[in-house]
């Protein structure tokens, strides 16, 4: 049966948005899904029920066993744009789900849906245990994040002119951390102009940043923006540490002469989950980050920085 014009137009639009469509949205075979079952747990959803929502922590990767899931983009201004529908044999996730980051898109069931859910830690275990399958999945996750970055899907909306206040540093911060975002100038965009008129910010409070959940920030710092987007959590700022070591394994073990004296707190942070990235090999470079903070009478030059677990790049 011939496809109608609407279906053809939709397929053409999908092919344009995702040039490497077969690699970005691969379909798993029945045998591959069976290999994945030991890593996941079955989940059922009713028609219209949300599997994940923009701005909320993602539960992991879903493998669709039956039914169809509609994926759409939603920004903080309430504008919704359909992206793609995924059916049996396809999986729903992007690279952020390896660490349980906030979802960048919405996923809703279209009719009854049966899925297999792999939480972040089990997804990482799958990538290690099933190397060939893990390679296909990882490639798809990376390509999806790249497509979202190019389209600005699911990220914050920066409102203000290019020359205002902290606009350029915030854009650079989001770009360095691979966070989708887009910029609206109130002089050319009506929605942005309406929002500026509603909040009446002073020039020092620009740019406004509208988060995916609708929260509006006034000229936020990089740390405040990262916390609002779920890139770092509040727990990262609850304790003050004297020393922070970035690295793990032999390269993360400081020489005895550089170890802090007794009574000083220390924290060793792993840049990425060890299940995904192996620990540094012996002899590799270790970076120490420190700044003088203690009085000279206690320990001259003692380093003191605040722990930042999985901190964004600054």
Q: Is-above-0.75 flag for pTM? A: no
The span from the CA of 247 to the CA of 266, in Å, is 13
Residue among 102, 126, 111 nearest 36 (CA): 126
Predicted confidence at residue 37, as pLDDT, reads: 96
CATH code of 157-231, in short, is: 3.40.30.10
Element (H or E) spanning 24, and its range?
helix 21-24
User: Reduced to 3 states, what is the DSSP secondary structure of residue 141?
Assistant: helix
The reply to whether domains 5-151 and 157-231 share a CATH topology is no
Alpha-carbon separation of residue 215 from 173, 178, 180 (angstroms): 19, 21, 17
Reported as a single tens digit per residue, the pLDDT across 79-135 is: 888 999 999 999 999 988 998 888 889 999 999 999 999 999 999 999 999 999 999
The span from the CA of 170 to the CA of 146, in Å, is 19
| Dihedral sign computed on CA atoms, order 156, 160, 162, 168 | negative
**DSSP secondary structure code for residue 119 in this structure:** -
Predicted confidence at residue 260, as pLDDT, reads: 57
Predicted confidence at residue 309, as pLDDT, reads: 35
Q: Are 154 and 95 in contact (CB under 8 A)?
A: no
Tell me the domain boundaries of the chain: 5-151, 157-231, 234-314
Dig out the tokens for 248 from the structure: 């793990």
Residuewise pLDDT in 10s, the chain (314 residues)? 444 454 434 444 444 456 688 899 999 999 999 999 999 999 999 999 999 998 888 999 999 999 999 999 887 777 888 999 999 999 999 988 998 888 889 999 999 999 999 999 999 999 999 999 999 999 999 999 888 888 766 688 999 998 888 899 999 999 898 888 889 999 998 888 998 999 999 989 999 999 888 889 999 999 999 988 888 765 555 666 666 666 544 444 555 555 555 556 555 554 444 333 444 444 444 444 444 433 434 433 333 333 333 444 44
Predicted confidence at residue 230, as pLDDT, reads: 81
The span from the CA of 281 to the CA of 304, in Å, is 27
Predicted confidence at residue 258, as pLDDT, reads: 53
CATH 3.30.2020.10 fits 5-151, yes or no: no
């Amino acid at each position: 049966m011939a496809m109608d014009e609407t279906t053809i137009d939709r397929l053409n639009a999908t092919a344009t948005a995702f040039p490497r469509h077969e690699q970005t949205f691969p379909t798993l075979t029945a045998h591959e899904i069976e290999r994945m079952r030991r890593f996941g747990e079955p989940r059922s959803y009713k028609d219209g029920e949300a599997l994940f929502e923009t701005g909320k922590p993602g539960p992991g990767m879903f493998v669709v066993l039956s039914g169809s899931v509609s994926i759409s983009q939603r920004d903080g201004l309430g504008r919704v744009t359909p992206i793609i529908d995924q059916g049996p044999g396809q999986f729903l996730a992007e690279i952020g789900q390896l660490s349980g980051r906030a979802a960048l898109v919405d996923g809703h069931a279209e009719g009854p849906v049966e899925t297999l859910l792999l939480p972040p830690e089990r997804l990482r275990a799958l990538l290690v245990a099933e190397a060939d399958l893990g390679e296909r999945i990882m490639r798809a996750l990376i390509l999806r994040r790249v497509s979202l970055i190019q389209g600005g899907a699911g990220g914050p909306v920066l409102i203000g002119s290019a020359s205002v206040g902290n606009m350029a540093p915030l854009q650079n911060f989001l770009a360095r951390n691979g966070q989708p975002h887009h910029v609206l100038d109130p002089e050319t965009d009506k929605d942005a102009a309406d929002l500026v008129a509603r909040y009446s910010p002073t020039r020092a409070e620009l740019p406004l940043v509208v988060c995916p959940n609708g929260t509006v920030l006034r000229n936020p710092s990089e740390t405040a923006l990262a916390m609002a987007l779920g890139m770092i959590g509040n727990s990262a700022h609850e304790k003050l540490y004297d020393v922070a070591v970035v690295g793990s394994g032999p390269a993360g073990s400081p020489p005895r002469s550089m170890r802090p004296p007794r009574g000083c707190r220390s924290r060793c942070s792993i840049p990425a989950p060890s299940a995904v990235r192996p620990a540094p090999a012996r002899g590799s470079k270790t970076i120490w980050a420190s700044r003088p903070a203690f009085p000279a009478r206690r320990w001259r030059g003692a380093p003191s920085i605040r722990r930042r677990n999985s901190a964004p790049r600054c």
